[in-house]
Amino acid sequence: MLKKERAGHILRRLEELYPHTPVPLDHSNPFTLLIAVLLSAQCTDVRVNLVTPALFRLADNPRKMMKVPVEKIREIIRPCGLSPRKSAAISELSKILVEQHGGEVPADFDALEALPGVGHKTASVVMAQAFGVPAFPVDTHIHRLAKRWKLTAGKNVEQTERDLKKLFPRESWNKLHLQIIFYGREHCSARGCDGKTCMLCTELFS
């Protein structure tokens, strides 16, 4: 198959396998999604979902969160790892949202990426899942699968994102990035598939 043909096949198969793509991180509004995505850095979604209920009971919006002592935030989110850095970022970005954005999460890439602890991938998830803006968040798992499926030769997630956006229709991006994550976790993990054994790898390269 040519690269474009592989992309089309992947898109069709993932739509069959995962017609519904609930956001894996539990949240109730754009702010709680932003915080959950921030916490998911170097941490599993499962663990984040265990930690965030206690945090969001305390504060589920920036105005409340900015009043919570950083030490208290750090204590709650410690199981997610990197708690000193993440707690400081949560506290500071909450203040910025209140002071500069009227207490709302901005639906704007540049404004999001200017927040402490928020990189391009986090901003992309929020734009896609909170605001429905076409984005293609690429994490290390999607990067790995895109290379395994020979959709990119990118040496980093930025190049992989650019390559995937060229291959797939814009209207598919928000759903597809979750479909790829779901498939990777269930069928094509780093250790569970050598690029030849799972269903898609077999179909693409046999």
Active-site residue numbers?
121, 139
| Token couple for 203 | 């179909």
Q: Taking a C-beta distance cutoff of 8 angstroms, is the pair 82, 38 a contact?
A: no
What's 187's DSSP letter?
A: T
Question: What residue type is 203 in one-letter code?
Answer: E
Question: What residue type is 51 in one-letter code?
Answer: V
Q: Taking a C-beta distance cutoff of 8 angstroms, is the pair 200, 180 a contact?
A: no
18-49 in b/e form (b: 16+ CB < 10 A) is beebeebbbbeebbbbbbbbbbbbebebeebb
| Token couple for 111 | 């404004």
Taking CA 98 as the corner, what is the angle to CA 95 and CA 102, rounded to the nearest 5 degrees?
165
- Provide the H-helix boundaries in 102-169: 109-113, 120-131, 140-148, 157-167
Please report, in angstroms and rounded to a whole number, the separation of the first and last CA atoms in the chain.
Answer: 10
Taking CA 188 as the corner, what is the angle to CA 186 and CA 190, rounded to the nearest 5 degrees?
115
